[in-house]
Structure 1
Amino acid sequence: MQAVVVKPGFVVDVAEVPEPRCGPGDVVIAVRRVQLSVTECMLLAGADVALSDQLARRLEDGPLQFGGHEFAGEIIALGTAVDPEATGLRVGQRVTAVETLPCGTCAACRRSWAGACVAPAIIGFTRPGALAERVVVPASAVVPVPDGVSLSAAAAIQPLAGAVHAHAALDVRPGESVLVLGGGVMGLLGVAVARHGNAGLVALSTHSPRKLELGRRFGADALIDAGSDVLATALELTDGIGFDVVLETAGGSADVGLAGLSTVELAAQAVRRGGRIAMVSVLDAHAPLPTGLLRSKSVTLVHPRSGAGDYASGASVFEHSFGLVQRNLVDPDALITHTVPGLGAIHEAMDITQHKSRYGAINPAQMELS
């Protein structure tokens, strides 16, 4: 079958690879839609972000399949131990999958602390992913796509699940004020989740007038031009106190159009004393943080590791996210601006995802497979 491979020197190509082996507890999925992620593109560019050292070491052994943890497709085979009645899975069913898989054998997993697993596998990173015609995943990771939800929306459900998980990690309470920094896909979905999670004042700060308007559509009460004095406006909106909660989504390498560390510093300034910050942006692996300011304000900082949330409850986070889509509370398709045909368009898809501002893209590029 055809799949995207990365070669030593971070050379990306499409090549013929062996068919994936289906174990007894696995499911084979024919990939129909796959969405790139900024993290994948940064890793493929050799950026110094999480997992970059691991990828570089693996490349020392030669080319490998890489990428594709946000996808949707159809089941084409069930492993011999997968009981359709017990699992609800069947051939022909539309599905996606949780990307982070606990090992099941470490001390944390044996104590039912799957979220603390010391050796989780990650679809598309540590095991072959869906930048391929077919992908094999454990049946336990499979999440059915509900009726009425498009495959394109299903391939984009992981970022929505990430926003849901971030708000859960922040413990956003009814009536609390929420400031979202960044109007990309994570920022806009963060606005929507805050609004439908019964937050009070929800504010969005971004540079793009188009994204500010989308922010209003997704539920923001206050729109702040990121080119203005954002901190002054944030304090004015909160009677000088600062926001209860800040969701920081824009930090990271300027090479892919992100804001460096400026939004991290702004988050620390704009949150109230005793408030909470979630950083879901992709910072450089050794990026410095304003720890002095965070400490002086007794700020709680969380950095959710996985869009699936706690690994053990990942499927339920995806299912909750699908429920938001089914009830027309969140529309992932509204953020999908660029779709390319087939795996052969991988370089075009990467360029769109790495330079979204240049292309006028909001969501990372999706690839449509026949």
Structure 2
Amino acid sequence: MRAAVLHGFGDLRIEEVPDPRPGPADVVLDVACVQPSVTECMLIAGEPVALHTHLADALTAGPVRFGGHEFCGVVRSVGTAVRDITVGARVTAVETVVCGRCPACRRGRSDACLAPEFIGFTRPGALAEQVLVPAACVVPVPPGVTASAAAAVQPLAGALHAHALAAVQPGETMLVIGAGVMGLLALQVARCGNAGLVAISGRSPAKLALANRFGADLVIDASGGPEAVLAAVQEATGGIGVDVVVETAGGAPEVGLAGTETLELAARCARRGGRVVVVSVLPDRAPAPLGLLRERGTALLHPRSGAGGYSPGGGVFDHALRLVARGDIDVESLVTHRLSGMTEVPKAVEITRDKTAHGAINPAQVDLTGGGKGAWNC
């Protein structure tokens, strides 16, 4: 089969590799649709974010199969011990693979596993025509959910984790900083949850239009800078600030992200005793306004899900897929770039790493079905 192989930072190639073979508790999927995550693209480029050191160490030993934890596919084969997954089933998979042997796992706390692996990060992922995953990670895709939507469910699971961690009480006010894919998903989750007034800030007119469509109470044009956002929040809350801020816009300025200034803005917009949930992928040594957070008694929170945290159960994925199937959450409107075929994977990585330059919202998706008769098309 063909797969993406990383030969060094910035050097991703499509090559022939051996087909995966399932162990007793494994499943092999034909990948239908995959999207490289923002974190994966930053790591491929060599940026110092989560797991950079692990990837750098792996590359010293030679080329690495890397990337592809946001995907869906069709079951091709199953291991001899797999009983509840059938060939031909449409599925996705949770990216975290817990060891099942450490003290945390033995005590029923697999979320605190001491030796987890991550599909696409520490083991081969779905930037390939086939992917091998443990059967325990497989999540069925409900009828009516497209391959494109199923491949995009992992970021939605992240938004659900963020909302849960914020413990939003009925009627609490919320500001979402950033109207990209995570911001727009956070907005939709808030509208399905307990939140009262929900504000969102961003710079792109097209994304702000989507925010209006998704039910934001207050849409703030952030092109006026942090002071304009703060002023709008203070006016909307009578000078108190919001109960919860979900920060999704921070990251490398060279790819159109907001650096670290949005973290300070989040701290200024939260009320005393409020909560700031950091969803964006910031550099390992990013400065934080700890003095302001301490003085205001503001909690700084980081949600589970993704390579930086453990989310081994399929429960959140199941719930995310149900929300999509019911029409409560719209993920497909966020997919702006669709490519076809393995040779387009490097292009998808390029688009996703600098979504601003390409006018993308969601990561670029790649359809690997070939669009043939009976294919599960993106």
Is the TM-score greater than 0.5? yes
Give the secondary-structure state (helix, strand or coil) at the position aligned to 1:227: helix
Q: Which runs of 5+ in 2 are unaligned?
A: 370-378
TM superposition shift of 1:350: 1.6
Aligned to 1:192: 188
Give the secondary-structure state (helix, strand or coil) at the position aligned to 1:306: coil
Q: Does 2:168 align with 1:175?
A: no
Aligned to 1:8: 8
Q: Does 2:361 align with 1:358?
A: no
1:203–1:221 Cα contact (<8 Å) kept: yes
Query: When the two structures are superposed, what TM-score results if normalisation uses the length of structure 2?
Result: 0.94
Aligned to 2:68: 68
Give the secondary-structure state (helix, strand or coil) at the position aligned to 2:314: helix
Match of 1:117 among 113, 116, 120: 113
1:257–1:354 Cα contact (<8 Å) kept: no
CA distance in 2, matches of 1:351, 1:9: 13
1:252–1:283 Cα contact (<8 Å) kept: yes
Aligned to 1:161: 157
Aligned to 1:217: 213
Aligned to 2:376: none
Instruction: Write out per-residue CA displacement over residues 131-172 of structure 1, whole angstroms, 9 at most, x where no aligned residue.
Output: 011111111100000000000000000001100011001111
1:34–1:155 Cα contact (<8 Å) kept: yes
1:100–1:121 Cα contact (<8 Å) kept: yes
1:308–1:315 Cα contact (<8 Å) kept: no
1:163–1:307 Cα contact (<8 Å) kept: no
CA distance in 1, matches of 2:56, 2:306: 23
Q: Does 2:259 align with 1:242?
A: no
Aligned to 2:126: 130
Q: Does the C-alpha gap of structure 1 residues 306 and 34 become closer, same or farther in structure 2, counting only changes over 3 Å?
A: same
1:62-101 correspondence to structure 2 within 5 Å: 62-84=62-84, 89-101=85-97
Match of 1:142 among 97, 121, 138: 138
Q: Does the C-alpha gap of structure 1 residues 63 and 252 become closer, same or farther in structure 2, counting only changes over 3 Å?
A: same
Q: Does the C-alpha gap of structure 1 residues 41 and 114 become closer, same or farther in structure 2, counting only changes over 3 Å?
A: same
Instruction: Write out per-residue CA displacement over residues 160-193 of structure 1, whole angstroms, 9 at most, x where no aligned residue.
Output: 1100011001111110001000010000000000
Q: Which runs of 5+ in 1 are unaligned?
A: none
1:317-356 correspondence to structure 2 within 5 Å: 317-356=316-355
2:324–2:331 Cα contact (<8 Å) kept: yes
Q: Does the C-alpha gap of structure 1 residues 310 and 14 become closer, same or farther in structure 2, counting only changes over 3 Å?
A: closer
Q: Does the C-alpha gap of structure 1 residues 135 and 323 become closer, same or farther in structure 2, counting only changes over 3 Å?
A: same
What amino acid maps onto 1:240 in structure 2?
G
CA distance in 2, matches of 1:308, 1:46: 16
Q: Does the C-alpha gap of structure 1 residues 341 and 312 become closer, same or farther in structure 2, counting only changes over 3 Å?
A: closer
What amino acid maps onto 1:215 in structure 2?
A
Aligned to 1:254: 253
Instruction: Write out per-residue CA displacement over residues 97-146 of structure 1, whole angstroms, 9 at most, x where no aligned residue.
Output: 00011111112111111111122100000000000111111111000000
Match of 1:201 among 197, 201, 221: 197
CA distance in 2, matches of 1:76, 1:125: 22
CA distance in 2, matches of 1:112, 1:294: 34
Give the secondary-structure state (helix, strand or coil) at the position aligned to 1:131: coil
1:165–1:307 Cα contact (<8 Å) kept: no
Aligned to 2:373: none
| CA-atom RMSD in angstroms | 1.4
1:266-285 correspondence to structure 2 within 5 Å: 266-285=265-284
Instruction: Write out per-residue CA displacement over residues 189-238 of structure 1, whole angstroms, 9 at most, x where no aligned residue.
Output: 00000011031000000011111110111121100011231001111111
1:162–1:309 Cα contact (<8 Å) kept: no
CA distance in 2, matches of 1:256, 1:315: 32
Q: Does the C-alpha gap of structure 1 residues 169 and 309 become closer, same or farther in structure 2, counting only changes over 3 Å?
A: farther
CA distance in 1, matches of 2:213, 2:9: 43
CA distance in 2, matches of 1:308, 1:220: 29
TM superposition shift of 1:8: 3.0
Aligned to 2:374: none
Q: Does 2:20 align with 1:20?
A: yes
TM superposition shift of 1:305: 3.7
2:137–2:312 Cα contact (<8 Å) kept: no
Query: When the two structures are superposed, what TM-score results if normalisation uses the length of structure 1?
Result: 0.96
Q: Give the number of aligned pairs.
A: 366
Instruction: Write out per-residue CA displacement over residues 32-58 of structure 1, whole angstroms, 9 at most, x where no aligned residue.
Output: 100111111100000010100110000
Q: Does the C-alpha gap of structure 1 residues 109 and 44 become closer, same or farther in structure 2, counting only changes over 3 Å?
A: same
Aligned to 1:30: 30
CA distance in 2, matches of 1:98, 1:109: 17
1:308–1:314 Cα contact (<8 Å) kept: no
CA distance in 2, matches of 1:256, 1:140: 36
TM superposition shift of 1:309: 10
Q: Which runs of 4+ in 1 moved over 2 A?
A: 307-314
